[in-house]
Structure 1
Amino acid sequence: MLPAVSASPMSRRGLLRAAAVGAALAVGPLGTPPAASAAAADVPGALVPKWRALILGSGFTPTAEPFASRLAALGATARDLRSAMARATGSLWPDLPFADPDPDTDPESYTYSGNLQTSYSRLRTLAEAHAQPGTGLTGDTGLRDDILAGLDHLHDEVYHAGQTRYGNWYSWQIGAPQALLDIDVLLHEHLGADRIAQHCAAVDHFVPDSAVAQYTGTSTGANRVDLCRVLALRGVVGSSAAKLALARDALSPVFPYVTNGDGLYADGSFVQHTWVPYAGSYGSVMLGGLSLLFALLEGSAWEVKDGNRQIVFDSVDKAYAPFLFNGLAMDAVSGRAVSRGAKAAVGGVRQDDQLRGQSILACIALLARSASAAEQSRWRGMVKGWISRQYYTPALTAPGLGIAALARLAEVAAGDATAIPEPVGHRLFPGMDRAVHRSAGWAACLSMASRRITYYENGNGENLRGWHSGSGMLYWWGDDFANGQYSDDFWATVDPYRLPGTTASRKPLADAEGGAWGAARPDVRWVGGTTDGTYASVGQYLKGLSSTLLAKKSWFLLDDTVVCLGAGIHARDGATVESVVENRNLGLAGVHAFTVDGRAQPGGLGWSAPLGGARWAHLAGHAGYVFPGGAPASLKALRHARTGAWSDINQGASPDPITRRYLALWFDHGTAPAGDTYAYLLMPGASPAQTAARAADNGWLSLLANTDDHQGVRVPSRGFTGVNFWNPGSVGGITVGAPASVTIREAERTATVCVSGPLRDGATIDLTWDRPVSAVVSLDPTVQLVAAGATLKLRISPGKLGAVHTAVVRPG
């Protein structure tokens, strides 16, 4: 069975506000859902107004901005949808046929089931407009009757007990019932007992208790949380204590850490669909679902009390915050969602890293209500900081978020929490082959692939050309610049063979090459690195997707620089192989000065030039680039415009053409490289003078090795030595007896030695550092001291999770 279509959190939840109704519960103070009273705590129906307040929001002024314009827009959308609605056999809207004449053989069955889900989602939009103040349709009885008629039509036509499902399982078990049950909450007092019974029977048919009986298949991670949401709301709407208890208990398998497959990892990784890093999309859905369910059930007889739920709270700092920068969610952990940049059908919104980030911020703000006082204070400060720094698409003014999510962010922004700045430091995520580096003024993220993690995910016609996004793609953003680099139609217009940081063959690949749902994975193990928490050494043994390409790639990440090395580059496909230094999105009309060794280059489109011999280059408003010893003749540059459409990479997206300008820098390795290398320095935010000074400082960097066996550098001014040992050997006074990544940081009177075994085979790593050591300050339990004195000898037992093992010593 195929994985689900991952709709954006906004389209799946809507999160719009209405005035709370019902006498059992009252809406609490600003931003606070009503709590169950002691008398009502054991009555499932008492949770109806509580869920209503959660999904529709509370504590905002509907006549004030940004809410007034959002509510008016909701009303306009609802009017358009209402006028287009036409009940007919096989459809509720003419553009959304859901009748499938032959569900076993018709390839359009996925479309039909998706149209069913969208039909319910549109009705939910109408229900929101009916409940919300300020929409122009608030309390409209004619609209209410049309919604009820639409519900009856969908039930009678297709979504009822006894119907055989077709197409995508997700539409029947999650997408449609979530929207249906939300509508049932919004219109609860108008449904009548018979209609409620019919809806509950339909949900019971498509989402039986057995859907959560085993933690496997499509019932894991975010999907499991979504299924539990359906079961919980079925219990609320149908007043079933048993369903609420089942939903609560079925959440428990989501909480514990995993070491493979779907879920949260102890290192902060989040994986869905077995092979795909997904904190920015499915992870957001899981966090959002859990925050809603924790809040709904808190104080009731079904409150989630599993001690492992603390892992969810811990994930805010470990799994989500590292991938949020200035409020955006990094694309490297958003899977095929990166291809959803075009506006969807009527009532839909475009999705990008900014909007995904805003959704996660709103989830964190809601989860804080169920967390400890210390967590609440810290998270609100983090969210407030992200909101204040979301320059490209400000969270409180940009369209996209539902009213409830917007209200949560507005509450935090107006609150007394102190905005927390972006942290500085490095985080490795060996569980999903990702690394995040933060320094003063910029942040970067590395996207890699191995036996454990896919090159890219495609599925349901989405992300058809993300082929090389796991081939060492290096994302980066500035503190107050370049935050829209990947938001501004990047994926629809970038050359998919020339993603920044990657080494890739230009061998033509078919759309969805390698298979769907993360099937495309290289047969390599050495992917990972080491860090002391500030600087890092990261490496990837690269095998190209559907090509003969081989390469060893290393990144050494420091305070103002990323040192990038490549070696052992081989291929025999007859196609050009390139290592991409940069491919910067300059926008629709951007003309950014490009300087090489102090000489301005032409700014016109179509300019290209070889840059052999260049010592440095600078792209105004972005970064500096240094080529130690001078660039080889293979370095090339191109300034050009590229035109594409979102439908090129997502079959359901807009075909409207889009044009963006790019500045590309790359090493051209030719059609049959046999051991090629490259070396360059990336300096985000550097000025031309800073870039030139670094290029002129021949003592700043010592290139220790750049071969098929070892890659390493030393930066004396930073006390940094980093070596990736693809094979055992000696480099820069460091000897290892097994493949390893090593980072050594010398600061004041101590040195921190960090070692990992990226092969994850558990083999012991013996390390010798040819440096006198007078004392051992500390050792991880996995590190054994063999000798200290004239040299340091350590024995590391690395385990099989790619973790970093540390020794702190005092050099003699």
Structure 2
Amino acid sequence: MSRRQVLSLLPAAGLLTVASPARAAAGTDHARLLANTVAIFAGTPDVNARPEVAGKLAAIVRTARQRLTAMDQAGDGELFTGLRLGADDANLRLAYQYLYEIALATRTPGGELDGDAPAQRRVVDGLTWLHERYFGDQSKGYYGNWHSWEIGIPTHVSRTMALLAERLKQERPELAATYIASMDAYLRNGKDGDVDLDSRFHTGANLADIAGNRILQGALTGDDARVGKAIADQSTVFATIDPYNLQHGVTDGYYRDGSFIQHHSVAYTGSYGRALLTRVVQTLKTLEGATDDGGSDLAGVVYRWVADGFAPLIFEGWMMEIVKGRAVSRTATGYADVGVIVEAVADLADHVEDAGALALKKYLRFLPDADTAAFVSPISIARYAAIRADSAVPAADLNPPARCVAFNAMDRTVHRRPGYAFALARSSDRISKYEYMNGENLMPWFQGDGAYYLYLAGEDQREVFGVDYFTAVSPYRLAGATAPVEERRTVPDLYGRFWYENPGHPLNFTSSSESQNTYVYFPVGGNVFSGGATLGAYGAAGMVQSDDAAYTAKQAGTLPDDFVAYRNARGTKSWFMFDDEIVVLAAGVSGQGGRDAVTTVDSRIAAPGDAVALTGEGWNGRAWRTGDTTPPRWLRYANDTRGTAIGYAFLSRQRVAAGLETVTRSQRVVRTSNPDTNVTKNVFTASVTHPAAGDVPALAYALVPNATEARLRRYARGPLSVLANSEHVQAVEHKSLGIVAANVFAAGPRLAGRLLIDGPASVIVQSGERTVVALSDPTMKREHVSVVLPGAPLRLVTADEGVTVRRVPGGTLVQATTRHAHGRSFTASLK
């Protein structure tokens, strides 16, 4: 295997060997490292002379002038007007950010403030003033959010000092060392003023940020050991997480299937994952030519992150909601999220080998044009513009046209076709049901209970998803979710602050305690079954809905009396993903405790002026209208203004409440720091109620993207059949594709149509000239899973390692060794 291939498989300990402190520090050119940093953020004379960069230069200067004016207008106790200091960590962080923005303008070639000595002196004086009054005294600092003190402020300070390194040497030669000593002292979640790889705070994107800052700090003071240790620490984030051989107990990072986890259990590619991508690519650029090895080998690992981790989650330039954690409540759009990734990819293309570089450039030309105003680096803007203008590079997606990706390590599934993409959020005892924190994502309760998002090609996704979706749509009616009928209260409403405070309890509830994470911020579920199989571009996924860790602990008497925990609805759910439809099954649904439960088939938003229509047909062939109490055979929601439509073909007979309403809410209902801006949307909702009393029939329906009415009528004659829909087995057949797909939730042999499956398991079988089988263990706990294919014996053609095939009475047994596979699918081809 090549060194790059080896690196992609190495555990963290192995990477420490690859990038040992001694090796990383040997031959470090500190001046080059600082020069690279200045070039990254300020550009170079040649780059900044290019017309594509003019807007960025103007923005840098404009921002700096605004900050200088704010300094002129500052009052007592302020460095910048309006930023009162001494009690608000966010204001102190902003003060350092403003100093950085001024310093940046004075080092930007071609800018109006380039070389402005008085402005640089004001920055140096500002750094000194802040340290003397608000940062240097350890007994008075570290209030508010730990992130400000360990990452946010040090990032701005380190970059500012790198930009003004020569000025500092001339006028305040002691200031860098003074600040570094203070920043080390604020690493209270570290060890002896340094990174602690065993700390839960020093993982993933957070670790990359801290180590990146320390590389700059070492260069400023000529400290080879500091630079070497920081490079070695950051190198650990390149390691593929092996859940069966964790290094330092860390679960944060990238997994074999492309998943990315931060905060121990949160699916986070779209927020922390992109931050990590940005930081490590910046480090590759910073180290270029400054060390013996600038990290070119590791660039190949980052390429796999992009191809297998990011690309499936980006649809027509939009980052999917299922991997954004609490960031779904922010006003920044999914397009802006992808803009950050685009900048990193443009830079990464300079560090990978020829084939990888070409693939990345093709992908950049395939994606919609990004807004370069949000790029950090002028060099990145110029590089991206050159790639976009290069007609010799054909546009090409990193995704094949048809793709189904089971991110089972983070309980997510993405199913893509040329006209749409389907994204599913699951949860389990491994992965959090949601993330709430710091007044963000205030009503997240059902986001991991099978909530899904159906993206249609050609749509402006800002009009149908993003913060406006979570603002206008009821948190109890997220598409795909099953919720009990009750009203819940947000954390600030319950406790009068952004967290639950009880430091006197044995669990020591404080704002950043482990108990806060476990029971308030991102609780996991109680279910083991969450995952599924993929067979080529087809997929099956299943989940048993459960209570979260907080409710379970409250029932056990573990939590304080005044701690509020909510009981969830229960149900067994499956999603089977084909070419033209996604089939959804739900069985055993109960609101628990005498409550009804509601499963939302879909919720979609549109502008009030859009021409939207809801049509349908009953099982008797008559037209179905809003308010009709008879079960529909199909419904169709169409936005004629945007030329989009979704059909819902019902495979079981239930009453469906479907209709349109105009909703107006402030964006602050989902995030306290959002602007108090009212959002008015036309909201479509289709839902099924599962009554608390009496028999509750199982639910089955198909989502049909871009459906016409004629096409929906054809589902009365197939090709979909529900073979089983219970708490034990859920299975469907797609006759046109020759596919039978099943989830078996119970232990032991179970029939799914004519398949005999040893559960728990997820199985897909496609019959044709050959019979192709995929098996997986969604519990991630079994040694083997197997299926018996009935009929004449079949012989093995090809199979993944760990798959065996043998004849048994009545058919052919296909068995996969799933131990330590972490939900991965195993396939076999037979004839």
| Shorter-chain TM band | 0.7 to 0.9
Secondary structure of the residue aligned to 1:582 is strand
Distance in 1 (CA, whole Å) between partners of 2:302 and 2:521 is 25
Aligned equivalent of 2:701, options 653, 671, 680: 680
Aligned to 1:316: 306
Gap change, CA 1:284 and 1:58, over 3 Å in 2: farther
RMSD (Å), alpha carbons:
2.8
1:176, CA displacement in angstroms? 0.9
Contact 1:327 1:361 in 2 (8 A): no
Contact 1:571 1:673 in 2 (8 A): no
Secondary structure of the residue aligned to 1:212 is coil
TM-score by length of 1: 0.85
Contact 1:530 1:754 in 2 (8 A): yes
Contact 1:624 1:691 in 2 (8 A): no
Secondary structure of the residue aligned to 1:444 is strand
Aligned to 1:237: 220
1:231, CA displacement in angstroms? 0.6
| 1:110-132 CA-partner distances (Å, limit 9, x unpaired) | xx222211211122222333444
Gap change, CA 1:134 and 1:588, over 3 Å in 2: farther
- 1:300 and 2:290 matched: yes
The one-letter code matched in structure 2 to 1:119 is A
Contact 1:773 1:789 in 2 (8 A): no
Distance in 1 (CA, whole Å) between partners of 2:755 and 2:570 is 26
The one-letter code matched in structure 1 to 2:482 is T
Aligned to 2:343: 362
What is the 5 A alignment of 1:150-161? Answer: 150-160=126-136
Distance in 1 (CA, whole Å) between partners of 2:695 and 2:229 is 60
- 1:712 and 2:731 matched: yes
Aligned equivalent of 1:217, options 197, 200, 220: 200
Distance in 1 (CA, whole Å) between partners of 2:596 and 2:312 is 36
| 1:163-197 CA-partner distances (Å, limit 9, x unpaired) | 64333222122111111222223333333345353
Distance in 1 (CA, whole Å) between partners of 2:230 and 2:125 is 30
The one-letter code matched in structure 1 to 2:220 is V
Aligned to 1:755: 775
Contact 1:270 1:278 in 2 (8 A): yes
Contact 1:426 1:531 in 2 (8 A): yes
Secondary structure of the residue aligned to 1:753 is strand
Secondary structure of the residue aligned to 1:223 is helix
Distance in 1 (CA, whole Å) between partners of 2:109 and 2:609 is 41
TM-score by length of 2: 0.83
Aligned equivalent of 1:276, options 229, 247, 266: 266
Aligned to 1:97: 84
1:44, CA displacement in angstroms? 0.5
The one-letter code matched in structure 2 to 1:52 is V
Aligned equivalent of 2:451, options 456, 462, 473: 473
1:557, CA displacement in angstroms? 0.5
Distance in 2 (CA, whole Å) between partners of 1:278 and 1:58 is 34
* Percent identity over paired residues: 27
The one-letter code matched in structure 1 to 2:701 is Y
Aligned to 1:500: 479
The one-letter code matched in structure 2 to 1:798 is T
Aligned to 1:123: 99
Structure 1 residue ranges without an equivalent (≥5): 1-39, 101-111, 342-350
Distance in 1 (CA, whole Å) between partners of 2:300 and 2:371 is 30
Distance in 1 (CA, whole Å) between partners of 2:470 and 2:380 is 26
Aligned equivalent of 2:354, options 337, 348, 373: 373
Aligned to 2:743: 724
What is the 5 A alignment of 1:310-709? Answer: 310-341=300-331, 351-386=332-367, 390=368, 394-396=369-371, 403=378, 405-415=380-390, 416-421=392-397, 422-423=399-400, 424-484=402-462, 485-487=464-466, 489-512=468-491, 516=517, 518-544=521-547, 546-597=566-617, 610=629, 612-620=631-639, 621-628=643-650, 631-633=653-655, 635-672=656-693, 675-693=696-714, 695-696=715-716, 698-709=717-728
The one-letter code matched in structure 2 to 1:49 is A
Contact 2:612 2:637 in 1 (8 A): no
- Alignment length (residue pairs): 737
Aligned to 1:345: none
Contact 2:585 2:698 in 1 (8 A): yes
Distance in 1 (CA, whole Å) between partners of 2:798 and 2:429 is 34
Segments ≥4 residues shifted beyond 6 Å: 306-309, 598-602
1:359, CA displacement in angstroms? 0.4
1:745, CA displacement in angstroms? 1.6
Gap change, CA 1:373 and 1:629, over 3 Å in 2: closer
Distance in 1 (CA, whole Å) between partners of 2:712 and 2:52 is 43
Contact 2:652 2:699 in 1 (8 A): no
Distance in 2 (CA, whole Å) between partners of 1:200 and 1:646 is 44
Gap change, CA 1:612 and 1:136, over 3 Å in 2: farther
Comparing 242-251 with 622-631, greater Cα deviation is found at 622-631
Contact 1:396 1:406 in 2 (8 A): no
Contact 1:624 1:683 in 2 (8 A): yes
Secondary structure of the residue aligned to 1:578 is strand
Distance in 2 (CA, whole Å) between partners of 1:565 and 1:299 is 56
Contact 1:482 1:622 in 2 (8 A): no
Distance in 1 (CA, whole Å) between partners of 2:42 and 2:545 is 47
Secondary structure of the residue aligned to 2:201 is coil
Distance in 2 (CA, whole Å) between partners of 1:628 and 1:213 is 54
Distance in 1 (CA, whole Å) between partners of 2:725 and 2:410 is 26
1:318, CA displacement in angstroms? 1.8
Secondary structure of the residue aligned to 2:797 is strand
Distance in 2 (CA, whole Å) between partners of 1:228 and 1:527 is 35
If each structure's helix is expressed as a fraction of its own residues, which one has the higher value? 2
Contact 1:705 1:711 in 2 (8 A): yes
Contact 1:82 1:126 in 2 (8 A): yes
1:724, CA displacement in angstroms? 0.6
Secondary structure of the residue aligned to 1:251 is helix
Distance in 1 (CA, whole Å) between partners of 2:724 and 2:624 is 33
Contact 1:611 1:636 in 2 (8 A): no
Gap change, CA 1:65 and 1:582, over 3 Å in 2: farther
Gap change, CA 1:78 and 1:489, over 3 Å in 2: farther
Aligned equivalent of 1:178, options 114, 133, 155: 155
| 1:647-666 CA-partner distances (Å, limit 9, x unpaired) | 22222221222222211111
The one-letter code matched in structure 1 to 2:664 is T
1:382, CA displacement in angstroms? 1.2
The one-letter code matched in structure 2 to 1:226 is D
1:69, CA displacement in angstroms? 4.1
1:75, CA displacement in angstroms? 3.6
Contact 2:442 2:671 in 1 (8 A): yes
Gap change, CA 1:587 and 1:773, over 3 Å in 2: farther
- 1:791 and 2:772 matched: no
Secondary structure of the residue aligned to 2:703 is strand
Gap change, CA 1:651 and 1:396, over 3 Å in 2: closer
Comparing 617-626 with 525-534, greater Cα deviation is found at 617-626
Contact 2:36 2:287 in 1 (8 A): no
1:428, CA displacement in angstroms? 0.6
Distance in 1 (CA, whole Å) between partners of 2:675 and 2:379 is 28
Aligned to 2:511: none
Distance in 2 (CA, whole Å) between partners of 1:506 and 1:63 is 61
Gap change, CA 1:704 and 1:403, over 3 Å in 2: same
- 1:168 and 2:145 matched: yes
Distance in 2 (CA, whole Å) between partners of 1:435 and 1:279 is 13
Secondary structure of the residue aligned to 1:121 is helix
Distance in 2 (CA, whole Å) between partners of 1:492 and 1:74 is 33
| 1:712-762 CA-partner distances (Å, limit 9, x unpaired) | 110111111101111141011111232111111224x11111111111212
Secondary structure of the residue aligned to 1:739 is strand
Distance in 2 (CA, whole Å) between partners of 1:270 and 1:49 is 32
Structure 2 residue ranges without an equivalent (≥5): 1-25, 186-191, 244-250, 495-499, 501-515, 549-565
Aligned to 2:180: 203
Contact 1:618 1:688 in 2 (8 A): no
Aligned to 2:790: 770
Distance in 2 (CA, whole Å) between partners of 1:338 and 1:670 is 31
Distance in 1 (CA, whole Å) between partners of 2:292 and 2:608 is 53
